[in-house]
Structure 1
């Protein structure tokens, strides 16, 4: 399994070095080739499922903790409608399109199509962002401020994906009546916002601002709280909060 990861990393970045293709494409291609032609022994190993389970809980915390640090909050505040529209509307179109074609062409149930769409819709920012950095360095699109709009919208798109995908995932796999799962999925969004605000205020107030270790303590509180809420939400069937 480690060999597949290393091979995908090397192949993806080698492809990026000699072409304009994003490394994610090369990594995905390496994984697809191994899935088709390689031995599936590690896929049948229970430890692979355990590692996958914990990685799926940890990586959203890292992404959603690190991502907002790169956002231009002043720009988002002044262009909120433009940024949030670009972050959500294309995502919704991609998700619904994937669900529709998965249902029509592959005969997937609608809820599985939505689950697949919520995963695939998150790929676009990762593909678009690197070329935008290069264009911005060359001065292309600087007058229209294309890069700030797309990059900030891409970060919010990722956060939106994590929340909605978690809600859909818990709605599918958590055993409960359908009406309860739908209502719970809608409530999970607002519960997550409330918990995030509460933990953010707590992390800001708890360490004294004059303490030289305050930034470290605050970072650990945010990361630890994110892990705690992610595991607790998944255990209780409130994924996406």
Structure 2
């Protein structure tokens, strides 16, 4: 499995470099490589690596969100806080409602299935947004208006909001024993619990980073 992982990493770096030379985002090349080598195409990936892919995806997401959190500025967040909430919720709601309305006529799905599809497609991809916004910060683009910080924070909140909505819709669709009313009440409860847990962990990490250089995690 380690050899297969090393081969994929090396090939991914090569493809990323090649696509950048063609003025195409390197992520497109990595996605193409993953699809080509995946089980539904050439099937060249080690089965053990495929079995552990969920853990690797989780680790990658943690690293991406950790980098995003370390790049956020408290002063900038205080200045654009209201706009962050609007940017996190309104686009996701509009996209989800639009897909829910168009799904039955265009795709032949039920209204609930269309709503579930909308909650999936409305999610923001941190793997795309976070590196781009960090690059903008390093280049000073939009720094005066706090645009990169606003987008970073909004993308994280957007994912949390969409995941909660998706979980509720799946629970209703599969006929979970919990009633619809409780499922709907669970949305703000889940968000509030997430905020509380995040604050506790954030305060703890803040105390730790007062003693250690936070940039060390970025370099790693």
Give the aligned partner of residue 30 of structure 2. Answer: 27
Residue number in structure 2 paired with 1:196? 198
Give the Cα separation in 2 of the matches to 1:87 and 1:162.
8
Corresponding position of 1:226? none
Q: Structure 2 vs 1, CA of residues 152 and 202 (structure 1 numbering), >3 Å: closer, same or farther?
A: closer
The alpha-carbon deviation at position 113 of structure 1 amounts to 0.6
Q: Deviations over 1:97-120 (max 9, x none)?
A: 455555543345134313422445
Question: In the alignment, which residue of structure 2 is the partner of 1:152?
Answer: 149
The 2-side partners of 1:23 and 1:122 are apart by: 15
User: Could you tell me how far 1:68 is from its partner in structure 2?
Assistant: 1.9
* TM-score, normalization by structure 1: 0.61
How far did 1:161 drift?
3.5
Q: Does 1:37 align with 2:41?
A: yes
- Asked if the contact 1:71/1:155 (under 8 Å) is kept, the reply is yes
Mapping for residues 99-138 of structure 1, pairs under 5 Å: 99-102=100-103, 104-108=105-109, 109-119=113-123, 125-126=129-130, 129=133, 132=136, 136=139
Name the Cα RMSD after superposition.
4.1
Equivalents in 2 of 1:40, 1:22: separation in Å?
A: 24
CA contact (8 A) 1:12 1:26 kept: yes
Structure 1 partner of 2:187:
185
Q: Deviation at 1:38?
A: 1.2
Q: Secondary structure at the match of 1:215?
A: coil
Change (3 A) 1:63 1:165: farther
Task: State the shift of 1:192 in Å.
Answer: 0.9
Deviations 1:143-186 (A, max 9, x none): xx46x31x112211331133234424543269543523333233
- Residue of structure 2 equivalent to 1:61: 62
- The CA distance in 1 between the partners of 2:65 and 2:187, in whole Å, is 20
Q: How much has 1:189 moved relative to structure 2?
A: 0.6
| Conservation of the 8 A alpha-carbon contact between 2:120 and 2:166 | no
**Unpaired runs of at least 5, structure 1:** 221-241
Question: Would you say the 8 A contact 2:92–2:123 is kept in 1?
Answer: no
